[in-house]
Amino acid sequence: MEFEPFMFPLSFITYCTLSSWIFNTNFSSFLQLHKPTSMKAACRILWLTLIVLFAEISTASVDRKTYIIHMDDAKVLELKSFYKQPQEWYEEILQLSRTTSADIDHEELPPELLYTYENTMTGFSAKLTTEQYQLLTEIDGVLHAAPDEIRSLQTTYSPDFLGLELDQTGLWNENSLQQRASDVIIGFVDTGIWPEHISFSDTGLSPIPSRWKGTCVEGTNFSVTNCNRKLIGAKFFFKGYEAAYGRINDTIESRSARDSRGHGTHTASTAAGNAVSGASLFGMAKGIARGISFTSRIAAYKACWEGNCANSDILAAIDHAVADGVDVLSLSLVGDATPYYKDSAMVASLGATQKGVFVSFSAGNSGPFASTVGNVAPWVMTVAASSLDRGFLGQVKLSNGKIFRGSSIYSSNQKKTKQLPLVYKETAGGKRVTEYCLPESLSPSLVKGKVVLCMRGINDKTEKGLVVKSAGGAGMILLNTPSYGEELVADPHVLPATLLGVSAAKAIKGYLTRDKNLTASISFYGTTYGARSPMVAAFSSRGPSLVDPYIIKPDITAPGINILAAWPPVSSITHLSSDKRRAEFNILSGTSMSCPHVSGIAALIKSVHQNWSPAAIKSAIMTSAYTHDNRGHLISDLSVSNSTQYVTPFEFGSGHVNPDKALDPGLVYDITGEDYLNYLCSINYTNAQVTLLARREYNCPSDEGKATFQAGDLNYPSFAVLFYAVKGGKTSYTYKRTVTNVGKAKISYKILIDEPKGVRVSVVPKVLKFKELGEKQSYKVSFTRSGAKTTDNKSLSSFGSLIWVGGEYSVRSPIAVTWQ
């Protein structure tokens, strides 16, 4: 009779299947052997050959690392036609090296499978020796293998600041908000969640959407009953972290989705926390704490432990989130800048986007330095951070009568200190780093009962206060360095303390140089409103991108300074072990805080425009952004003391997010998955590199060997133009864009252009006329260098904008021109 493959043990067939892949034999014909004896003989021969191959790794080092292995999706699909799960094949290939050692006296650590990825990336992660890794890379079907990497976290009144109100119009339409947004599910890849927090109450919510496929996974201090109609999913991923750092200590951090750090609880409630009246931190920022999309459902995917997030764990979290059915993914974390095909998080994010999931990332907290922005792929939303008009006033008065306004969240009943002597650097201690108030840098005999000046930087601001307090100091005045400019981030200090901007720092140090007997007092006035805002945070990472200069990044800015949101009641509000203060809400700053604002806005837009693609939602948010502050001036940069230093698209992308306008943007720029792949070809990625991102064999389209797609032709809502400042360099580029009418059926748009310095911009046609909703119109825009060579500075950039104006709509795209 004819051979039936499943009459034999699964492992036996898998060995033969693996062998056929290694030697590039015809997979289908190999399984069509007619006699069992032929099958056995073939497998025996192939198995002996494998022994010879794997014997080479018998002296492998006992040291192992975690690797992420990207597999050819087509081959895995072929495998699936015979077996239910590719995991069985992955396990077999990894175990081969365990049993083929030529040296019986040598005991080699076996490879260990950590995760398999199927939804947003095809492949697996495993702990391997160097030799095992090298052998795997030679197997047919392996597209790419790379060591695991660690990412870091980027660490309410803000809805009011954003113009969200419970009225009859706009995104927070009270009559239909619950019905619309409660069907949208936001996934958070973070430190987990504190499920009992009142912000995650399911009061008033309808049953869980029937399409939801996720679950709540039990673990340390976490059970299925911790989930409800608000928190509908909770999973945790730790194998990559433990492979790098060892087993998680359950007494410090729960080995479950429970959040003991606070970061994940804070970000989840920012985007989708339920309304909580009377929320505050020690009475400050008091009001109703409400997430941006406060009726949306939450799914928590814990992939970060003790502030570190392994890429292998992040990939597993994204893969599960997409399979579970999230609509939006929010990731407040960042890693090193690297090409997309080497960045597993960007690979998985492309897979998520292609399946209709909107993905937002924080831009990073490495500002104000140029080219520090992370998470720059065109298929993700990259979010910068900016200020609110709310502050927490901590005021300094010197004995010479000079007064300086700063920022502080000091929780004592003491509203004012006495006038106390000021000490700084050599008058506070004899060590070289005394001015930064590092541990053991201060002399108790010099600082006892005095106010210590401490420079910002190196260690955490609240730790500096603890250092001062431990040395006997009575107060602390934190001083910004030039890099931090006038950025005033509030912290819950452990002693009377406030933060001052760089101009005040310079003045106070000058006064102290001239008057050694200078004294100071610190007064605390609580919450204040009306500050000039928004202003881009000094810490917010900046462009241009080193990985991909053909896209403007970040994309957008959103509130990220002094954000009040939910907090685990068991976690210290400062993460200082000696700080026993606890609270249900905490005030934090970072692009970690700005990212969930945009995630929540995306969820609201998705609830209204259910058929919009992630690219269309992203376009709506970007083209509707505003660029002026509450004083009517262009938005400024907090990293500089000059308030007329306006930001550029490399600091805030298209501008500050404007939720209600994003709901009805007029026009959108849409992008397909195939467009992204063509774009990768245009920036000189090889077929193999694009194949890795495509998860299938991909050949870049070409015309007689030349690319058919320009980088500038990606239908992105902004324009990045590169000119090379060399003789003979290209002097003109023409790019194409296509917009879709989502505003009014019959409408015309006229073009307005603000030309960047040194460049002429022309658009054809100058008028777009639409007859119906959903109609698409295309235009071409040309950028031409004007006059002679603009500059000898190869890093010079100039900026402008292109705006389509029609009726009530203004659809704006920033332009960034860079000479290299």
What's the rounded Cα separation, in Å, for the pair 810 and 181? 26
CA atoms of 531 and 616, how far apart (whole Å)? 33
Q: List, in sequence order, every residue forming a beta bridge with 722; answer none if it has no partner.
A: 818
CB atoms within 10 A of CB 342: 16
Active site residue 34: no
Closest Cα to residue 511, out of 407, 362, 397, 591?
A: 397
**What dihedral angle (degrees, nearest 10) is formed by the CA atoms of 436, 438, 442, 448?**
90
Q: How many Cβ atoms sit within 10 Å of the Cβ of residue 81?
A: 9
Residue 152 tokens read as 């870091």
CB 454 within 8 A of CB 477: yes
- Residue 540: CB atoms within 10 A of its CB come to 34
- Per DSSP, what are the bridge partners of residue 805? 750, 810
CB 591 within 8 A of CB 332: yes
CA–CA dist 527, 345 (Å, integer): 39
Q: Could you tell me the two tokens for 137? A: 């890379």
- Residue from 101, 408, 592, 813 carrying the catalytic annotation: 592
CA end-to-end span of the chain: 71
What token pair was written down for 57? 């790794």
How far is the C-alpha of 737 from the C-alpha of 100, rounded, in Å? 58
Distance separating alpha carbons of residues 153 and 309, to the nearest angstrom: 8
DSSP 169: S
- Which of 628, 387, 416 shows the shortest CA–CA distance to 489? 387
Candidates 144, 197, 263, 656; catalytic one: 263
Instruction: Name the residue type at position 177.
Output: L
Catalytic residue status for 592: yes
* CA neighbours closer than 13 Å in the CB half-sphere of residue 60: 27
Is 210 annotated in the active site? no
- Choice among 72, 73, 190, 670 that is catalytic: 190
Which has the closest alpha carbon to 725: 759, 690, 682, 772? 759
- What does the buried/exposed string (b/e) look like for 215-248 if buried means 16 or more CB atoms within 10 Å of the residue's CB? ebbebeebeeebbbbbbbbbbbbbbbbbbbeeeb
Phi and psi torsions of 333, nearest 5°: -155, 165
Q: 407 has which bridge partners?
A: 393, 499
Q: What is the dihedral of CA 62, 68, 73, 75, to 10 degrees?
A: -10
Q: Strand, helix or coil at 666?
A: coil
- At 811, list the tokens: 């659809």
**What does the alpha-carbon distance between residue 225 and residue 373 come to, in Å, rounded to a whole number?**
40
Give the catalytic positions in this structure: 190, 263, 592
